[in-house]
């Protein structure tokens, strides 16, 4: 028996912080930070939709939305085990006055301080039907506007 703590405690905490920095930087449109935290071989999977492969392609897509499509995130839970980080969060996609807000469970894999996999699970019905309906209602009745 030993009094030493497992070696993965600090790296796991660092990895959880790295994922939070990544998503908060995305929300702030700090694309230089987003890019620095993404591995060249990054794969972005929104389960149920086609995967996007490669940091260059993903960054091109994200940068094209700058100033047009906003993003916000709030974390409910985050857990890390080695190079894997799991998140339970609410994301918001903001297009003009519309705020599409929905629950997301994310799985991230990291290597050498960079994200190699960004996989998000969400309810397509909630994202593509319910969230837009809530957003439209919020534009007419501000008290119904989705917010964190």
For the question of residue 3 being annotated catalytic, the response is no
91 in active site: yes
From 14, 30, 32, 91, the catalytic residue: 91
Output the DSSP codes for the chain: ---PPPTTHHHHHHHHHHHHHHHHHHHTT-HHHHHHHEEEEEEEEETTS--EE-HHHHHHHHHHTTTTEEEEEEEEEEEEETTEEEEEEEEEEEETTEEEEEEEEEEEEEETTEEEEEEEE--HHIIIIIHHHHHHHHHHSGGG----
The catalytic residue positions are 91, 120
């Amino acid at each position: 028996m030993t009094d030493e703590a497992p070696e993965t405690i600090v790296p796991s905490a660092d990895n959880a912080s790295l994922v939070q920095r990544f998503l908060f930087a995305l929300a702030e449109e700090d694309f230089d930070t987003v890019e620095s935290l993404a591995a060249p071989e990054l794969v972005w999977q929104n389960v149920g939709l086609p995967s996007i492969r490669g940091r260059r392609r993903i960054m091109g897509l994200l940068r094209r939305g700058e100033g047009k499509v906003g993003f916000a995130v709030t974390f409910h839970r985050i857990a890390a085990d080695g190079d894997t980080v799991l998140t339970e969060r609410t994301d918001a996609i903001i297009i003009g006055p519309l705020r599409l807000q929905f629950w997301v469970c994310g799985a991230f894999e990291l290597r050498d301080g960079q994200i190699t996999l960004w996989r998000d699970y969400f309810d397509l019905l909630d994202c593509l039907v319910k969230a837009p309906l809530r957003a439209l209602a919020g534009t007419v009745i501000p008290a119904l506007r989705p917010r964190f």
